[in-house]
Structure 1
């Protein structure tokens, strides 16, 4: 799978742009704020129905415009596929595949798999557990189109149970049978999500270790561990034993919404004890493992988007990374950097051709 053409109209800082890409490496060079990352985000939008950086769709519209339109021409399974997205202010977002509109955006997720590596990914390490769960959920949902539905159902059941707990606290009326009904719904959905997360992590962790060791040449000892209350306890039993605690706190304190990923370096938390370069190497290994997992599950190569990838990586790790992603295991790549000469030098050193685009204030030239 690869992206042949990209068209933008009134998207972020682009009034209009049309680009044709190489099947291998494509690089966008320009000053900070020129719009390089916005081009990556347009590709992300077409593949996963949303911005990588901003969940509010209307804020993607060029200032002063009433709508935006994106179109991508992909080659997938030896067929040409045209994906189009448009949004008018105060109207519903439209997504079309070969001129046919989707009834559910979830049906599009996973058809054009994509992995993006961005400076914003540091939140996976330094922010709360929700960011790490989102990383896991994003990986699984691109390979399992029922997973998103299961997540939506679980969150709905969780919200309902929490509402009931607050209602019990407010009124003093406690109906154990009603709570048990909510428990059963939460357990059924939560157990299915847990099983899928567990299977994913069992496949994912060895691939992550392989990529990290290659990237750093075993310079550090790191560990990635999946932590879930359901690894050690029955979910229904957990809810039952914590009923009084949940009633006091007026929220559900056990379940897969408490799942966590533990990141350590030399046995210590990566968040506190990893340098910026070590944290970035860890993140890159996470995302490359995500790429490998998607490729194994889908049977073809996803798109790889590398935003400002050379920042905070030393020359040795940069070279190793570029050698890795330019290998046959990887497909089409999009890279942004402020230094065009650096891009050309890096790929010249490893004898890999690159198509370079210069970006200046929302204007792109190749």
Structure 2
């Protein structure tokens, strides 16, 4: 599976641009601010029906324009015949209207049906926020991986978010009226608890499946210098969670939001040797005690494990987007990634860099077809 062609109309700083990509390594060169990251975001958008960097779709419409169109042609692998067929994917958005997503000019019944069809993994400079910042960032990462892997999970997650939004609106209404209708709340609590339990169970299962790949990549990148782990933390793990959830209705009404549930989950990123050696240091939180190098290695290992999980489930290599990655890593980690390229571990790659001489030198000996694109903006 690979992206063969891409056409952009009024997408961010691209008024009207067209590209024909290579099947292996595509390098996007240009000065800072020229739109290299925007080009990667267009590919991400095409694969996942949303931006990697903007929370609102309308923010991707070029200034002073009324709409954007992203149009791409993928070669999609057929597992049964091991041959490929071309599929045209088009995403368009008119200001004030709903986003339209089409495959071969036919609209999807649901946007969620598209997620996971063309798997993609993005490595970006701000990825270390996964380690340093809030639980929301970590949930967002794992939910994104699971959404590409498991369509049932995605449907449950979207339904949960919808019911949660409705329950929060109801709590605000109760607070305004100073009156609570417990029977009405029951109609929201039951599906919320049921969906929350399903999401919890899948997240817990996924972390167990994810850990071996993740640890393997971390060991490779760090030369097996330390032991790492991921611990899934959730209130829903408590056998009495449903009773506690109902018990705190009054608190929810006062605060006008649902204060318990899987939307409060977190993932603890730990580093330490005690799990491997009884006399080794106890695991500690990476964001508090890990070095910048350890945090970067941890995040790259997360993304490479995501790549492996998607490849194992889909039977195809995801598109790998590396945004300004060479500028944020030291020579040793860059060397490890280049070695993986040489080994044929990846499928189609897109790499951005503001320093063309460095990139050409790094990729000079890579045993793969490399195609260069230079982005020039006034």
TM-score by length of 2: 0.88
Mapping of 1:138-153 within 5 angstroms?
Answer: 138-153=144-159
CA deviation map 1:222-248 (0-9, x unaligned): 322111122342432332454565456
The answer for the alignment partner of 1:330 in structure 2 is 346
CA deviation map 1:173-211 (0-9, x unaligned): 455544444332211111111122122111111111111
Mapping of 1:308-347 within 5 angstroms?
Answer: 308-347=324-363
The answer for the alignment partner of 1:233 in structure 2 is 239
The answer for the alignment partner of 1:261 in structure 2 is 267
The answer for the alignment partner of 2:88 in structure 1 is 82
Give yes or no for contact 1:344–1:354 (8 Å, CA) kept in 2.
no
The answer for the alignment partner of 2:197 in structure 1 is 191
Q: CA RMSD in A?
A: 2.2
Q: CA deviation at 1:336?
A: 0.5
Moved more, 133-142 or 60-69: 60-69
CA deviation map 1:289-337 (0-9, x unaligned): 1111111111111111000111231101111022224433321110011
- Distance in 1, Cα, partners of 2:248 & 2:238: 15
The answer for the alignment partner of 1:65 in structure 2 is 65
> Is 1:223 aligned with 2:239?
no
The answer for the alignment partner of 2:292 in structure 1 is 276
Structure 1 residues 228 and 15, CA gap change in structure 2 (3 angstroms): same
Give yes or no for contact 1:25–1:332 (8 Å, CA) kept in 2.
yes
Secondary structure, counterpart of 1:15 in structure 2: strand
Give yes or no for contact 1:347–1:353 (8 Å, CA) kept in 2.
no
Structure 1 residues 305 and 185, CA gap change in structure 2 (3 angstroms): same
- Distance in 1, Cα, partners of 2:257 & 2:59: 33
- Distance in 2, Cα, partners of 1:10 & 1:246: 43
- Distance in 2, Cα, partners of 1:306 & 1:60: 20
Give yes or no for contact 2:5–2:72 (8 Å, CA) kept in 1.
yes
> Is 1:297 aligned with 2:313?
yes
Secondary structure, counterpart of 2:270 in structure 1: strand
Structure 1 residues 55 and 178, CA gap change in structure 2 (3 angstroms): closer
> Is 1:43 aligned with 2:43?
yes
Structure 1 residues 55 and 171, CA gap change in structure 2 (3 angstroms): closer
- Distance in 1, Cα, partners of 2:7 & 2:170: 49
- Distance in 2, Cα, partners of 1:103 & 1:160: 23
Aligned pairs, number:
362
Give yes or no for contact 1:165–1:247 (8 Å, CA) kept in 2.
yes
Give yes or no for contact 1:110–1:141 (8 Å, CA) kept in 2.
yes
- Distance in 1, Cα, partners of 2:178 & 2:98: 42
TM-score by length of 1: 0.91
- Distance in 2, Cα, partners of 1:129 & 1:320: 29
The answer for the alignment partner of 2:55 in structure 1 is 55
Give yes or no for contact 1:6–1:71 (8 Å, CA) kept in 2.
yes
- Distance in 1, Cα, partners of 2:271 & 2:330: 18
Structure 1 residues 216 and 252, CA gap change in structure 2 (3 angstroms): same
- Distance in 2, Cα, partners of 1:34 & 1:261: 36
Moved more, 175-184 or 328-337: 175-184
- Distance in 1, Cα, partners of 2:318 & 2:219: 22
Q: Which runs of 5+ in 1 are unaligned?
A: none
Give yes or no for contact 1:276–1:312 (8 Å, CA) kept in 2.
no
- Distance in 2, Cα, partners of 1:248 & 1:99: 49
Moved more, 302-311 or 170-179: 170-179
